[in-house]
Structure 1
């Protein structure tokens, strides 16, 4: 059931693939591609260069690149050198990049040429000694086909990745993950359940800085020996163009991707997935009607699963075949223990009742970087408390019903309300603010801000939106802003978001 042979050091996996199928395509983007032999050489050479720059075992390297072959090379090279890869969205603002580089204490920042000036400016202001590495026009400058002297890191249990996830405090938390925990998901989910193998050609629509993509679209590709095309950004037109080639057999995405793609193909009448054997969805809840409509139109299974960064992505997954429950995120992964408990008492809830989902297994994070108190709150006696509510049917199928946590999930992207609130409160005319998620037909949820103005202050929505755009990634910018008389709060000052939502007009 669990493919333990897939769990190995990154260098060992790449050498194995280079030996078994050296000329086979590993990764491709719009500008270049690499075979498994070339990937092995490039990652070794970059790892050697990082070491020569002074990177020591356990030091962090920020990967601030667009989705690309170079992104994959940079990440794998960092791990081979014994470093800790820190994925950062290429769309991050200076403040967001600065926070991650500082929090992870990155020794090296790998950035594209067009972002180098921005990176240099923020490092100069902060006074940090972080070094910047920039790829050449198409790839990292490596000395031909010769491999530089290099010692591969073999420790698959050390922290090898810090993946930042938004929390309810407003400050993103760096989740410490090991190569073993990440590849355990490959071995227990993507290989045995989704059937990912060396025979697959994957079309990746996901941003690589997410744990979901890092797992399924980078590490699982090399572990299984599959091939992949990396989209820099998802667009329906580009995906349509690629799928017309008939090359692809496997497509992961978030629900929004499948919604846009289905709508486009229904309009054109073109059924483009003739070569695709399977699609998988995670990152946000996949509505049952969308799942059913997608499978009926394309005749291709769309498997939904539930995952979180703190468990190296997946917790549950639907298996192929007819035995699936509409709207369910499936069964717990083999080897992973899941319970539903009463959030107040910690006791298991009766069958069919709603409870907080907690889990324990080999894929659990090693903690939050530099946040021992947060780690202690989240992991109790070895059980990770997800903050998500779920129900379980008599056959063990889980359905996510809500969230104890206050994250807003916009098209698979996590947004911490407090982070947006802190940004809005920088405007001197705003006295109070609360951000909530409101339903959206395509994106699932969008952030909406409610603001209380100071006495006699005027309201300029355009200026406030521009203020947010300058300081936040685009997906975090409020979709709408409402002026309200007050923000409902508890006696201790916590925002009563449910009450606030009830006061707003329907979407």
Structure 2
């Protein structure tokens, strides 16, 4: 059998191999600013930033960092939502020769401290509303420089004037005192800094780290994934090849996926900027605001997560009040995309919504269904150009045949350099360039891949292997189920048994007995949930992925 059967199914427009110039990641911005200087790069609540201004502000921030003492290879942590300052700080850090450390704004102090100390970042850029948490870890973390910025700084004039009144009504206390607390204010730094290009460093993009992306930490301590300039530029070029109908200088990217998440960073920001797109920044996912944003700005590309598309599908006014037909293509990531969600969203918008796959260690995208050609329900799609994959027995490493379930291994130009300061972890994850994903999967005869589940999430019930995703997909088929998550819980007789957490559709009163009967028609008896718990919501990450770990931990704490 052909080692890469997926090439035969590729759309005609997508080559199996691409050219990857040896350039820094910052070239994405500099090239687009040269081609489209007056085109809008960022839109934020009505305020627009051109490519020329974005580039000059990034230069200014780089020069400010250098003046403050940041040197090549230093780590600069970003604690920011989707605001224009995030993009300026990200590219400014890279222009300064430093490494971006991505931090999650919803993390508590303990988590922030762990990531800052592990990365040895001594400079941090944060939103003023988040500074209280930073203040409490500043000394322990060894932070030398803290740069603060506010949403008000990037609002249009009228909204900027109203913002303090709104915050006062909400009872928000003053976030910080720059002089007293020895902080640097971002907009002051930019005003005082030179807009000239900072000194250039000569380096090998395949070796130079651009970003430390901390993994979600589903088990154990999160690790810093070292993504090089070459890793990230390669994934952008692969993305551009897959979205081959995209037009330079004409696209509008709805940027609702958090930019601190590797998916938003690559598929929204870096890809969008490389194409001269207008990034419409959404700092927080709220369905009514999202629909108003789509209606007003008419985005053409909408990377997202299933929960975002589900929210749109279920909004009572989505089809009658809002114009959604500008959306041409969407790649869904982070969680399985149910068929009914895909079909309803496509009927609402007229665009195409396909499932993809990736992980932090791969910058992140490795697979996606063809957007405008043949696709398969339940599949994560085909490997992207220059991406090799194979399925192996997780115990022996023996390669498996199509249809056989094993661990998914990936090799390609987007695969990480390794884990930050963790050589043993790196050695366990990478062998001869092949990344062990920890995901159980299979490939069909045509080269489409299917994720069965995380190896670590697999439930062993009475000696049988149960994959939560398979059970969840059956539950999703029931018309009364809006969301579902399945975990293994201790059982004296079976070792583990299957428990389902279910969010009902509004107005539904489906019972445990009804779901049990439904599952028994579609699943082997050992896979059918023995326990059900009905919830109003499920715990999710900021990108909308259900966090099974929290559901398991709740059970242990009982």
Aligned with 1:182 (options 232, 254, 263): 232
SS of the residue corresponding to residue 65 of structure 2 reads: helix
Tell me by how many angstroms 1:275 deviates: 1.2
2:394 and 2:442 map into 1 onto residues whose CA distance is 13
Runs of 4+ residues over 4 Å off in structure 1:
265-271, 407-410, 436-443, 473-486
2:347 paired residue number: 296
2:3 paired residue number: none
CA gap of 1:94–1:223, structure 2 versus 1, over 3 A, is same
1:134 paired residue number: 148
Tell me by how many angstroms 1:86 deviates: 0.7
Tell me by how many angstroms 1:195 deviates: 3.7
1:119 paired residue number: 134
Aligned length: 437
Show CA shifts across 1:239-295 (max 9, x none).
111121252111110111111111115775456321111111111121233223322
Say whether 1:93 aligns with 2:69.
no
Say whether 1:275 aligns with 2:289.
no
1:442 and 1:30 map into 2 onto residues whose CA distance is 34
2:504 and 2:408 map into 1 onto residues whose CA distance is 26
1:381 and 1:118 map into 2 onto residues whose CA distance is 41
Tell me by how many angstroms 1:79 deviates: 0.9
1:150 paired residue number: 198
8 Å CA contact 1:107–1:130 kept in 2: the answer is yes
1:302 and 1:93 map into 2 onto residues whose CA distance is 34
1:45 paired residue number: 60
Show CA shifts across 1:468-495 (max 9, x none).
99xxx99869469866799xxxxxxxxx
2:77 and 2:232 map into 1 onto residues whose CA distance is 19
Tell me by how many angstroms 1:152 deviates: 3.4
Which shows bigger deviation, 64-73 or 3-12? 3-12
What's the Cα RMSD here?
A: 3.3
Q: TM-score, normalised by structure 1?
A: 0.78
8 Å CA contact 1:265–1:271 kept in 2: the answer is no
Taking the TM superposition and a 5 Å limit, the aligned residue runs for 1:233-252 are 233-245=284-296, 247-252=298-303
Q: TM-score, normalised by structure 2?
A: 0.72
1:109 paired residue number: 124
SS of the residue corresponding to residue 456 of structure 2 reads: coil
Tell me by how many angstroms 1:438 deviates: 4.8
SS of the residue corresponding to residue 331 of structure 2 reads: strand
1:166 paired residue number: 216
2:387 and 2:317 map into 1 onto residues whose CA distance is 38
8 Å CA contact 1:331–1:396 kept in 2: the answer is yes
1:208 and 1:114 map into 2 onto residues whose CA distance is 18
Aligned with 2:79 (options 61, 64, 67): 64
Show CA shifts across 1:91-139 (max 9, x none).
1111111111100000200012233343133112x16143101236516
CA gap of 1:348–1:242, structure 2 versus 1, over 3 A, is same
Say whether 1:23 aligns with 2:38.
yes
CA gap of 1:403–1:41, structure 2 versus 1, over 3 A, is same
Aligned with 2:428 (options 370, 377, 394): 377
Tell me by how many angstroms 1:397 deviates: 0.7
Show CA shifts across 1:403-453 (max 9, x none).
10349999xxxx9x9xxxxxxxxxxxxxxxx9x99555599xxxxxxxxxx
